[in-house]
Amino acid sequence: MSEQLTLPAEQRERAGKGASRALRRDGRVPAVIYGDKKEALSVHVEEKLLTRMLSTGHFMNTVVMIDAGGTPHRTLPKDVQFHPVSSRPIHVDFLRIGEHSQVHVNVPVHFIDEELSPGIKRGGVLNLVRHDLELVCDAAEIPEQIEISLKGLDVGDSIHISDVTLPKGAKPAIDDRDFTIATIVAPSALKSEAADSDEAPSASEVPVVGEETDEAEEA
C-alpha cells in the first residue's frame, strides 16, 4: 500500500493570475481542493515540499492529507501543471475523497523473475505496452506498484491483465477486454537470422550448372 502524505496548506484569499504569480514568487504553488459534493477550496502549498513529494514517483496515486488552516482534507492528486520552460509546478488539483472511497488510480508495473524467463535468457527483449495499470480500488488500499513475474515466459509470449494477480479489492478500470501489458520479443540478431533463413533458396530451387531450364528446352 502506498504511504499517506501530509501537505500543509493555507487558504487563498485572492484569485486571479496576478495573485497566483505573486504566490509563485514567494515560493508557493496555487491549488484547488474540490469534489465530495462540497464547495471548492482555493489554497496554496509550499513549492519545495510539493517538489519533494513529486520526486517520489508515486505522488499521483497516493492519498494526500491537506491540512488547510487546521482543517484536514483527505485528497487524491488529479492534475499537476508545470511551467513549460522551468518545469516547476505552477498549479495542483486535489480531489476530496472519503476514507474508503472507490478511486481510479494509475499504478506502475514492476517486473520480477527475469532470470527465470527462457525468452530473456535467449536474448529476448521485454516490450512494455503499458507502464502502469488503471485500477479501481479502496482509497485506503492503493498499491504502490503491481509486481508481474516473467517466470517461464519465452520469446513470443504476451502478458495480459488476466495473467496478473491484483491486490485484494482492486480491479482493472478497463473491464471489457483482456488487454496486453507486455510481450517478449526476439532481439534484432534473432530476427535477422530468421529472415535470412526464410529468404535462402532450398536445394531444389538452386539451378545446377549446365542443366537446361524448361524455358531453354521449349526454345
Closest-CA residue to 76 (of 84, 68, 64): 64
* CA 146 to each of CA 26, 49, 133, 157: distance values in angstroms, whole numbers, following the listed order: 39, 27, 8, 19
Q: Give Cα separations from 20 to 17, 31, 90, 141, 217 (angstroms).
A: 5, 10, 9, 34, 90
For 96-119, write each residue's pLDDT tens digit: 999 889 999 999 999 999 999 999
Contact 92, 33 (CB under 8 A): no
Top pLDDT among 25 and 197 is at 25
Residue 214 scores a pLDDT above 80? no
Task: Share the mean pLDDT of the chain.
Answer: 87
64 to each of 6, 60, 105, how far by Cα in Å?
6, 9, 13
Q: Alpha-carbon distance 54 to 90, whole Å?
A: 13
The pLDDT of residue 29 is 96
- Could you give the CA distance from residue 66 to residue 68 in angstroms, rounded to a whole number? 6
**Mean pLDDT on 20-26:** 92
CA distance 33 to 74: 10
Cell numbers describing residue 76: 487524491
pLDDT in tens, 119-175: 999 999 999 999 999 999 999 899 989 999 999 999 999 999 999 999 999 999 999
Condensed to tens digits (0 to 9), the pLDDT of residues 36-88 reads 889 999 999 999 999 999 998 889 989 999 999 888 999 999 999 999 999 99
More confident residue, 49 or 12: 49
Spatial separation of the C-alpha atoms in residues 35 and 77, rounded to whole Å = 12
The pTM score is: 0.72
Residue the block writes with cell 516547476? 88
The answer to whether 172 and 135 have CB atoms below 8 angstroms apart is yes
77 and 112 in contact (C-beta within 8 Å)?
no
> What was the pLDDT predicted at 40?
93
